[in-house]
Structure 1
């Protein structure tokens, strides 16, 4: 009985872990590697295991760094079920098809370049059709319901409080000679976040595989965060400018719309035209609206008294590219929420093209920015950016809203682990080296926890 680590080792993307229990193999997560071109080109590498030999897949949530290679896994031979929460199934059907579309688009552009140079053409990582086929493999599991995945292997999902449908995965393993319980944190949520409930507490485990994204810092309080956002919106109004918000289409986009509704009067949102300029963001928001069952108490009350908690009287949903292009004719008074969250693609780059050199523009960075991404460069104070071969000076005001995170901070991670009885061993994943190292030290200092920082292809016996 063992676990092997194939992703999110000393980095924050590409989550992928393989459990071997007797003759069975269970894959937990199958995520895209995201970041620079050098990182992302490894997505097409062969898997370090035979997909045909995998007996089951467990998925904690829909973000592509956890789910984005599932269609490729199936394309290369996987035939079993993907166990996850119902809301995650719904979100993945949107996100994976969009990922397939982007793969097709990238391959088209690359092949135009290769044709000119007489080089061999490439295929998309996977297509929209292949992404849709992956949807047939999803098997929905409700929070708190213990199910048998394979003989001797049982799964229970707990609410991770990260995004809609996100889960902590408890796997009870019995190979006939010994029994073990492994708990995968997935991505743990930030306590007190809007819409979603707080992460559930788990008390028993023989091994805890835990994320460490923000293991080196603590977030600002929610009250300070909302105050800061209100002040930025007020400043932008006095400057008669536009506000650009690159936002992850699942989770962050819905939180922003929800808070705009809650603070509609206080923040003067009615003075703006608000654009959700993301076809996938629009679809994901519709999924969020359908799953009120898993909202926290405050969001549930809004849903029951006011209906859709994401609807605004001045909200424009721009699905088509011509609608998106028309937004760039607006010189002031627009709040534009667009993907992608790390500014690596999507429509936000077109809005940067028209706005980033304007000194009165305000850009709100509202999520984690991995190394090698355009978003990280903006946070780090880059003076110019390159878009489609052209250079643009960064004259816009860049605001990093650090408290607005869907991830638990250092204190949240420590407190979540602190509820485990007997201080089981911890394996840290999904974190950049510095964050992981600092969290490891804190776990050892506060709880005397046995900590391993997962390395690529490392095997741990259970």
Structure 2
């Protein structure tokens, strides 16, 4: 019998990591993600691996976001040397994500150890090095969508487009035990229908066990038309008040979508007065990777970019300035009004967006727009929940900027779209809901039973199921 143990993203949104064990394939990890929220050094130290990495035969990675991939260097540091299977585009993005995360982690560790030296406290050792990042990348084995490949002595895998970010995959895993064939489908993160740039998630029909995400299992997104109207209203109001707009954004996925929508507004003559700044070296690099992989993106949206006589997302928005260096980032602080500042990190756990908060969040003329999910224990979640005072860089700041959340920009399927995707499976597969907070998963489970008579399991951290 196959056993699936949930070591992350179980009744929580981050830290996706699931251990699948079977004679048909050995011991395989589905994702190996980092928990998000809090200090990067504390987070890395707390993200231990509750299994022996030397016994893991392979990793099957759904996509490159750190909450699905961020513990790979730690896995390698502790002795893993097997293949890391992912899509072709994910390999490119993974290099970008892991290198950036390692740089931030090692920089913060150096800062903390300097403080520890001054206080006479023990120094912390690094949990992994850049060499571990490089080894993890060297272990990657890329596969195209629709390609079936072997995993272990009696198992195969096929990746399908999940429509979440570039290279994101739904994992279809088939294994044979004692002449019985079983199919596990792992959704990874499912994109929302009709998202710009991304294709709709592929629909599958056969499975014995479906492991599906439920990030937005308790709500539906506003339509994109309504979301863009709301965005225009916020921009108009902020312009009248003589302020700037700050948009915390994930470097991969959300940044490229917001750039596309801002480009559409520019084409209509609605952004001529605004200065748009992309203040994230990683997002700039990721945007150029999207340009390289245009063949995987939604054809209609790509055609729109090319019809505008521009060959890339960056060129598509002529009044965009890319701030790469620290000096260029600091220069943004001299802009008094009329700037739309897009910066990481998406949940405000680090990155340049916090420096822009330092200069602007206390000023009521400014606006802060969230365009992605904010996990518990993140600064972004505090602000979405209405915090009027926050702490950054050892100082307290009053929150006076207008704060809005535009759910229509989400990269995740909403409740109705999740129900629809699962409804394509024939028969009554077993369903395990992951990657969602308890309230969201409970709401999704209730609706699936009420409308589809699908009974769902909601596994806890460390729980196992046999199928």
Q: TM-score, normalising length from structure 2?
A: 0.96
1:349 equivalent in structure 2:
354
Q: Is the 8 A contact 2:314 2:320 kept in 1?
A: no
Is 1:7 the equivalent of 2:8? Answer: yes
1:411 to 408, 416, 430: 416
What are the residue-to-residue correspondences of 1:17-36 with 2, within 5 Å?
17-22=18-23, 24-36=26-38
Specify the alignment match of 2:234 in structure 1: 232
Question: How far apart are 1:318 and its partner, in Å?
Answer: 0.9
Match of 1:379 in 2: 384
- Going from structure 1 to structure 2, the CA distance change for 1:333 and 1:60 (only over 3 Å counts) comes to same
Deviation at 1:123, TM superposition (A): 2.2
Please name the residue that 1:263 is paired with.
265
Instruction: Please identify runs of 4+ aligned residues in structure 1 that moved more than 6 A.
Output: none
**Contact preservation (8 Å) 1:187, 1:211:** yes
The answer as to 2:322 corresponding to 1:321 is no
SS of equivalent residue, structure 1 residue 172 = strand
Describe the superposition over 1:286-329 as per-residue Cα deviations: whole angstroms up to 9, x where unpaired: 11110011111222213443321342211111111111001101
Paired residues of 1:21 and 1:174 also in contact (CA < 8 A):
no
Q: How far 1:227 moved relative to its partner?
A: 1.2
Q: Secondary structure at the match of 1:35?
A: coil
Distance in 2 (CA, whole Å) between partners of 1:372 and 1:33 is: 10
Q: Counterpart in 2 of 1:86? A: 88
Report the counterpart of residue 432 of structure 2 in structure 1: 427
Q: Structure 1 residue 335 and structure 2 residue 340: aligned?
A: yes
Contact 1:103 1:125 in 2 (8 A): no
Matches within 5 A, 1:234-253: 234-253=236-255
* Root-mean-square deviation (Å): 1.6
User: Is contact 1:299–1:309 with CA below 8 Å preserved after alignment?
Assistant: no
For residue 399 of structure 2, what is the aligned residue in structure 1? 394
Alignment-derived partner of residue 308 in structure 1: 312
Match of 1:208 among 201, 207, 210: 210
Q: 1:110 aligns with which of 102, 112, 121?
A: 112
CA separation of 1:63/1:38 partners in 2, compared to 1, >3 Å: closer, same or farther? closer
| SS of aligned partner of 1:271 | coil
CA contact (8 A) 1:88 1:165 kept: yes
Within 2, Cα distance between the matches of 1:37 and 1:114? 16
Output one character per residue of 1:354-411: Cα deviation in whole Å (capped at 9) or x when no partner.
Answer: 0111111011111101111111111111111111111111111111112210000000
User: Contact 2:219–2:415 (CA<8 Å) still a contact in 1?
Assistant: yes
Judge conservation of contact 1:16–1:31 (CA < 8 Å) in 2: yes
Task: Give the CA deviation at 1:274.
Answer: 1.0
Aligned residues: 462
Displacement of 1:128 in angstroms is: 3.1
Match of 1:157 among 156, 159, 174: 159
1:107-126 CA-to-partner distances (Å, cap 9, x unmatched) read 11111121123222112333
Q: Note closer, same or farther for the CA distance 1:180–1:39 as it changes in structure 2 (3 Å cut).
A: farther
String of CA shifts for 1:38-88, please: whole Å, max 9, x gaps.
Answer: 995365454221111111110001110000001111111111111111111
Unpaired stretches in structure 1, ≥5 consecutive residues: none
Q: 1 CA distance for matches of 2:363 and 2:327? A: 23
- 1:456 corresponds to: 461
- How far has the Cα of 1:421 moved from its partner? 0.2
- Rounded Cα–Cα distance in structure 1 between residues aligned with 2:174 and 2:151: 10
Greater shift after overlay, 235-244 or 302-311? Answer: 302-311
Structure 1 residues 43 and 189: CA distance shift in structure 2, 3 A: farther
Cα distance between partner residues in 2 of 1:318 and 1:389? 26
Measured in 1, the distance between the counterparts of 2:27 and 2:66 equals 22
Which residue matches 1:447?
452
